[in-house]
Structure 1
Amino acid sequence: MKIEEQQLFSNIKKSLMQSQHQSVITQCSSLLSPSADESGANSDTGLSAEAKREALYLLAVAYRLSGSTQNAISTLDNLVALFPDYGRAFQELGYCYLKVDDKKAAHSFYQATRFNPALLASWQQLEKVYKKDKQEQALLLCQQQIQFLSSLPKPLLGATDLMHEGQLHKAEQVCRQFLSANKHHPEAMMLLAELGIQLKVYSDAEFLLESCVEMYPENDRAAASFQSLLSKLGKFPQAVELAKKRLAQSPDNFTVQVSLAHALVGVGKLDDAIAIYRELLAKNDDRPALWVALGHAFKAKGDMQEAVSAYEKSTRYAADFGDAYWSLANTKTYRFDDETIEKMVDQESLESTKLDDKIHLCFALGKGYEDRKDAKTAFHYYQKGNSLKKRTIQFDIGRTEAALDAQKRAFSRSSFNNTQGCQAQDPIFIVGLPRAGSTLLEQILASHSMVDGTMELHDILGIASSLSHKKTPYPFNVTELDDDACRALGQKYIEQTRAYRQGAPFFIDKMPNNFIHIGLIKKILPNAKIIDARRAPMDCCFSGFKQLFGEGQEFSYGQEDIGRYYVAYESLMDHWKAVLPNQVLTVQHEDVLEDLEGQVKRLLSFCGLPFEEACLSFYETKRVIKTPSSEQVRQPIYKTGMQQWKPFETYLDELKQALSS
């Protein structure tokens, strides 16, 4: 929020506290009214998104306090439509409904706690509901949360509230101030680490949580947070070890057992993970999320029949569990029957369906209707799913473009003269945009006897993150690293990734976003091979727009964003080729489909590998694959994925314009 907006709202809040409700209504209404330009046409309010959210919220509060409940509800409905994950809006709705509709009030308070678990007042309202309805399990969980929030020092409770409302930098400031006076406070360390994760300062978050676990070995919340971060960073071997330690302390703890199984999937020990999932489900099969996790393990293993069965069981236990339907759609080969489509449409339309479930259902319905050749209805759901998702994330394509441009400014051709990093020749990096055919290239190379396939490794991103808070900011500090520092970072990468290898001389790192960090890669690993997986712009971007990613790839939820991102990616790849001549191989997806053998030979030649027939029959290679394309690359080459955007062309003008700019 701009400084002048902050001052304005500070004054409005003072008026609200002084019960000057009509004054607040007048001021907020004025702020939210579109202004007229010189021609007399209406233009936008001029408010930032955060300021618009604040104005609507304060207007609703003023309406409720002045007795205009219906106006308050209408304002809040508008607010929730614009900001569907704003917890305080739902809490205010709960207060509005208290006098008129107990069920809607309870639902609103529940939604408030889902989006902002720090809203103590909402938990206290839910406690009354659960006591009245004798919901013993829900009451127990509710009271545990009330007890936890009540035990937090007020500054930490305030910082937690700010974090869940998206005010990350304010929350960080409050948390750091508290820590300066209360060094090594475990809750403060965990909160600051969570803020670091949300701000993508992963190295700081990792250090904080690792320190917290060492200082407070009995604090399982700290251990759970640390294990979750390790998994997020792709450090699954460490996550497994930590999970085993936690399990030794709490052998019967369901949550810890599940977390161990998740980590085992991460290191590719699928049978061990599946055994844990099955054992837990045998004790209680009414666990929809666990069925989905089991399905993911079977999918990674290549057992699609078992995966589909697990996903379908999840939908039977929870008809509104969007992740289960999306998991079915995300196999790319599953087809929904009429009855399931109808059920999904009904669930998506219900007000009681959670936002995250609605998002998953929308993407699944988009795939379902696309399979039925109903482009109009399919696009409606794809668009709605993307729109809902985009409102829940903080993404600015301009900042991303600036970050990619910084890479071009940081690295020139001379930056790589006499580069003396780690001389290992093992790594083969496959980079590019998601949905560009990188999994196919990985499967082809992993079919070679001298190459290990791994997964999307996070290690380069972690190294880049560790360089982000030096005196000279990343990426400009990379060229300042001396030979010893470059060698050490390269060796660190080799050591960290060893756990994912099976002993072959070469291995693949298929993290698409590593295209941003090619300068860093070639400084610390000058002999690494870089392969750019490229796909026709409209095909690549529309495929990304249709995909609901597990995390990251925030640029993919808007046509303009994804188009501009593609343009910036192409520009950066052109730069890398200019400053690193003959060291980046672009493989066009369409060329692979048209001439598999020719492109495979070209690929192997670039990597310095002899030709092997197994690379042509890549679909017969058995290995763990955890990307959305896993089932597709277990089949021979087919061309049905080409120009899938064509039936949707009339809806894609914004994307076309962004790509042509």
Structure 2
Amino acid sequence: MSSAPNANTLSIPEALNRAHAHWQAGQADQAEQYCQRVLAEWPGQADALHLLGLMAHAYGNLDLAISHLRQACLAPRAPAIYSSNLAEMLRQKGLLTEGEEAAQRAVTMDPALVPGWSNLGILLQEAGKLEQSLACLERVVVLTPDAPEAHNNLANTHRRLGRLDRAEQHYRQALALYPNYAEAHSNLAFLLTAQGQYDQAAAEARLAIELNPRLIEAYLNLADVEISRHRHGAALQALDALQAFAPQHPAGLVARAKALRQLEYTNEALGFAQQAVALTPRSAEAHHALAQVLQALGETDEALEQFEQAAALPGTVAEEALIGRATLLLESGQKVEAMAAFDRALAAFPGSVRVLTSRVDAKTFKTGDPDVAAIEALLAEGERRPLPDRMSAHFALGKAYLDMGDATRAFAHLDTANHQKRSTFSYDSAATGSWMQRIASTFTQEWPARLQGAGAPSELPVFIIGMPRSGTSLVEQILSSHSQVFGAGELSALRLAIESQGTFPELLHGLTPARAQQLGRAYLDRIEPLAHGHLRLIDKMPGNFLYAGLIPLLLPGARIIHCRRDPVDTCLSCYTKQFGGEQQFTYDQTELGEFYRYYQRLMAHWAQVLPAGRYIEVDYESVVDDLEGEARRLLAFLDLPWEDACLQFHTNRRVVRTASVNQVRQPIYKTSKGRWQAYAEHLRPLLDALGVAAP
């Protein structure tokens, strides 16, 4: 190396030594001055550029850091570690392909370079090349068996491969070597979430934050725990804490978009997702988050495009993105295209339990269906598979064996699936019954008098309420086939507005006419943009039956349609489904029957106190027996003229985003009436709870 003197007669090695000394002493300005002196004498000098890159990275300027490291690596004799460090910075920027090339170059130059193999393994992991990642990281563990970081990184790849037992083993080994290893605690939290151990997962994430308050992944994993147990407000609190010191972190923006989407703040979610894509246009995760928000906004074509981009980019969401695209095609009535998209996903991810279970409701199984054998084989792997995958597999096989007429095997899987799901949360049936009784006691016939004339008047909202699986989707599909009716699906807007005011129903005692009008107006502000000029908008959230007594006080012009169905048929249908939202009462036959009785009592009360002209009841069985008669009765209730399109509801191409998506694409069929009687011997706890005698 040349040592030509500079203006201060220092050689280049001497200047570099001083630069490193100043940097290690925390004197960044002086370190940078010496580096710049070197570069003035020797433009492109690799060591000075490398140190400037490390300094820029330390101060959060990732783009400048990458620029310096790229130049440093161009030098003919640049050490392998420089390429390794560049690879890690490129990973942090989301440039996985270039990062992989840099890491490969590093280990080619120095096959014994442990950081090089580690960085390459992590890059391959994030690019979804998991078997290659595993080989790299296993090599690192062999080379450094007492390094906790090596075990932590290897565990991450095992986890993504679905080998949860091996992943937990290596996380525990990392923590045994270094008990205060914040990253390992954070990653263990993510693993425990996949296993459905939410309390332990949250504790691990919080411990990681306590150990390292600036560990971004710990906040993201805590938010993931809370989202997994439908505590989206708590997830946002974790993300608020992250935003305080990393407001522009792309993963934080993605997580915030997801939480806001779940809370139905879709416009706000859209902004964060778009911001994440703008910051990291090559991030599959960002495009996937944007696709989900666009899907929620009903922007089907744009969502399909974003799902496609997410699947094409390097990352770990390709499988989920392909499933999301196929599911959206199914929801929008494009069944042929949807099934082809599911096939494409399965070709890309052979044996994927997520693909196999996602298309279960779109097909009718026959004996010998290869999907059944594939799902059974996945279940045979036991706890190596994440709990959510195992639950989905059991629900899927329950449905498959019901289709094939094997009730015994079907209910063996359904009972296991429901038991597993029930083990992931706390639910108190008696407390739920007491709460619903308090709701009824609060709403007497005299109570609304003091709010007479309050609320926000509008003829737009139509609420379809009832138990899940009681025909609410069918009624919405029939009515939304009318040219003046828009079916908005299941909206949480009413529940969220009410819960923002305090505990229900106690908050009602302080409800003033002005506040009632404000709440009603807040609801209308959220739904009016969805209506697209239609005279009526349907909010088909079944659980709004809890708030039925409040609806006329907040929205005196609203109409309420209560859908009813045979109690056992309703409950059986609930028991066979894994719901996307919180339906905690559905995963135990006794609790399900008890909840139905609570619901019946509350609905009997509403029938007495709700205004007759704004409330109507419709029986699923009556719709099946007399479609035209019931459709005419419902349209008259909505004060709309008759349209024949309501009889051709199954041809309606609107997006349907419920467990009934496949059923509402078919003409009326009567085989679901009295369906439960064929399975009575498997429903004893439910029948006892409902007080129904077995046939």
Q: Same fold (TM over 0.5)?
A: yes
Give the equivalent residue in structure 2 for 1:652.
Answer: 683
**Which residue of the other structure, out of 422, 428, 431, is the alignment partner of 1:390?**
422
Indicate whether 1:268 and 2:302 are aligned: no
With over 3 angstroms needed to count, the CA separation of the structure-2 counterparts of 1:533 and 1:222, relative to structure 1, is: same
Q: Is the 8 A contact 2:277 2:286 kept in 1?
A: yes
> Could you tell me how far 1:541 is from its partner in structure 2?
0.4
Query: Does 1:425 pair with 2:485?
Result: no
Which is further off, 187-196 or 259-268? 187-196
2:432 alignment partner, one of 392, 400, 406: 400
Computed over aligned residues only, the root mean square deviation of the Cα atoms, in angstroms, reads: 4.1
In structure 1, distance between residues paired with 2:526 and 2:241: 20
Quote the residue 1:599 is aligned against: 630
Alignment CA distance shift 1:335-1:453 (3 Å): farther
Q: Counterparts of 1:603 and 1:550 in 2: how far apart (Å)?
A: 29
- Give the superposition deviation at 1:290: 2.1
Q: CA deviation at 1:196?
A: 6.9
Contact 1:450 1:504 in 2 (8 A): yes
1:464 equivalent among 481, 490, 498: 498
Q: Find the partner of 2:477 among 436, 443, 447.
A: 443
Match of 1:481 among 500, 511, 514: 511
Name 1:629's counterpart in structure 2.
660
* Equivalent position of 1:495 in the other structure: 525
Query: What is the CA–CA distance in structure 1 between the aligned matches of 2:290 and 2:410, rounded to whole Å?
Result: 38
SS of residue in 1 equivalent to 2:336: helix
Deviation for aligned residue 1:282? 4.3
The C-alpha deviation readout for 1:468-525, integer Å capped at 9, x for no partner, is: 2xxxx32121242111111111111111123322211210101111111123322211
Alpha-carbon distance, 1:430 to partner: 0.6
- Go from structure 1 to structure 2 and tell me whether the alpha carbon gap of 1:149 and 1:202 turns closer, same or farther (over 3 Å shift): farther
2:441 corresponds to 1:413: no
Tell me which of 574, 579, 591 is aligned to 1:549.
Answer: 579
Q: 2:608 aligns with which of 570, 578, 595?
A: 578
Q: Which whole-Å CA distance do the structure 1 matches of 2:308 and 2:184 have between them?
A: 43
Residue in 1 that maps onto 2:41: none
Q: Is contact 1:329-1:335 (8 Å) kept?
A: no
Shift of 1:199: 7.6
Q: 1:373 aligns with which of 402, 405, 411?
A: 405
| Contact 1:348/1:358 (8 A) holds in 2 | yes
Aligned ranges for residues 99-248 of structure 1 at < 5 Å?
A: 125-127=151-153, 165-167=197-199, 206=236, 209=239, 213=243, 216-248=246-278
Distance 1:318 1:149 in 2: 36
Kindly tell me: are residues 195 and 170 of structure 1, through their superposed partners in 2, closer, same or farther at Cα, counting changes over 3 Å? closer
1:519 and 1:225, CA in 2 relative to 1: closer, same or farther beyond 3 A?
farther
Q: Give the Cα–Cα distance (whole angstroms) in 2 for the partners of residues 236 and 268 of structure 1.
A: 11
- Work out which structure has the larger RCO, using CA pairs closer than 8 Å and 6 or more positions apart in sequence: 1
- 1:421 and 1:490 in contact (8 A); partners too: yes
Mapped to 2, the partners of 1:535 and 1:337 lie a distance apart of 33
> Residue in 1 aligned with 2:287?
257
- The DSSP-based 3-state class of the residue aligned with 1:302 is coil
Residue 452 (structure 1) aligns with: 486
Aligned to 1:349: 380
The one-letter code matched in structure 1 to 2:539 is D
Alpha carbons of structure 1 residues 622 and 390: separation in structure 2 relative to 1, 3 Å: same
Change (3 A) 1:185 1:522: farther
Flag the structure with larger Rg. Answer: 2
Please point out which of 350, 353, 359 is paired with 2:391.
Answer: 359
Counterpart of 2:357 in structure 1 is 326
- CA contact 1:322–1:356 (8 Å) conserved in 2: no
User: Aligned pair in 2 of structure 1 residues 269, 285: CA closer, same or farther (>3 Å)?
Assistant: same
Any residues of structure 2 matched to 1:45-84 within 5 Å, and which? none
Alpha carbons of structure 1 residues 171 and 612: separation in structure 2 relative to 1, 3 Å:
same
State the partner residue of 2:69: none
Change beyond 3 A, Cα 1:597–1:542: same
CA contact (8 A) 1:237 1:499 kept: no
Q: What code does the residue aligned with 2:505 have?
A: P
Aligned amino acid, residue 264 of structure 2: G
Distance in 2 of aligned mates of 1:283 and 1:187: 22
Cα 1:335–1:517 change in 2 (3 A) is: farther
Distance 1:557-1:622 versus aligned 2 partners, 3 A rule: same
Aligned counterparts of 1:512 and 1:149: Cα–Cα separation in 2: 48
Q: Deviations over 1:67-124 (max 9, x none)?
A: xxxxxxxxxxxxxxxxxxxxxxxxxxxxxxxxxxxxxxxx9xxxxxxxxxxxxx9987
Deviation string 1:242-286 (CA, Å, 9 cap, x unpaired) is 211111111111100111011111111111111222234345699
Q: Render the CA deviation track for 1:376-415: whole Å, top value 9, x for unaligned.
A: 1111111111122211222222232222222112221122
1:565 to 595, 602, 615: 595
- Structure 1 CA distance for aligned equivalents of residues 607 and 148 of structure 2: 55
Distance 2:552 2:500 in 1: 17
* Among 534, 538, 563, the residue aligned to 1:533: 563
Look up the equivalent residue of 1:265 and give its one-letter code: Q
For residues 190-209 of structure 1, give each alpha carbon's deviation from its aligned partner in whole angstroms, at most 9, with x where no partner exists.
78877876786655765775
Equivalent AA in structure 1 for residue 530 of structure 2: Y
Query: Is contact 1:325–1:360 with CA below 8 Å preserved after alignment?
Result: no
Distance 1:160 1:131 in 2: 13
Q: Sequence identity, in percent? A: 29
**Alpha-carbon distance in structure 2 between the residues aligned to 1:167 and 1:280:** 31
**Alpha carbons 1:336, 1:368 under 8 Å: kept:** no
Shift of 1:446: 0.7
- Code of the residue aligned with 1:384 in structure 2: it is T
Query: Which shifted more, 564-573 or 344-353?
Result: 344-353
Q: 1:587 to 1:211 in 2, by over 3 A?
A: farther
Displacement of 1:318 after TM fit? 3.9
Instruction: Tell me how far apart the structure 2 counterparts of residues 158 and 530 of structure 1 sit (CA, whole Å).
Output: 47
Instruction: Quickly say closer, same or farther: Cα 1:185–1:233, change in 2 above 3 A.
Output: same
For 2:471, give the aligned amino acid. G
- Give 1:589's match in structure 2, choosing from 617, 620, 624: 620
Shift of 1:599: 0.8
Residue 640 (structure 1) aligns with: 671
Distance 1:626 1:204, change over 3 A: same
Instruction: Give, as a single letter, the amino acid of the residue that structure 2 aligns with 1:388.
Output: Q
2:343 aligned residue (309, 312, 331): 312
Count of residues paired in the alignment: 530
Q: Structure 2: which 5+ runs fail to align? A: 1-133, 135-146
Q: 2:552 aligns with which of 514, 522, 532?
A: 522
SS in 1 for 2:538: strand
Give the drift of 1:660.
1.3
Larger mean Cα displacement after TM superposition, 310-319 or 502-511: 310-319
The letter of the residue matching 2:642 is F
Q: Per the alignment, in what secondary structure is the counterpart of residue 617 of structure 1?
A: helix
Aligned equivalents of 1:532 and 1:597: distance in 2? 18
Give per-residue Cα distances to partners, 1:608-643, cap 9 Å, x unaligned: 222222212222222111112122212221112222
Using a 3 Å threshold, how does the CA distance of structure 1 residues 277 and 655 change in structure 2: closer, same or farther? same
Question: Which residue identity lines up with residue 551 of structure 2 in the other structure?
Answer: I
Contact 1:408–1:572 (CA under 8 A) maintained in structure 2? yes
Residues 321 and 357 of structure 1 are in contact (CA less than 8 Å); yes or no, is this contact kept in structure 2?
A: no
Structure 2 equivalent of residue 277 of structure 1: 307
Unaligned runs of 5+ in 1: 1-106, 108-120
The letter for the 2-side match of 1:262 is: Q
Which secondary structure does the structure 2 equivalent of 1:587 belong to? strand
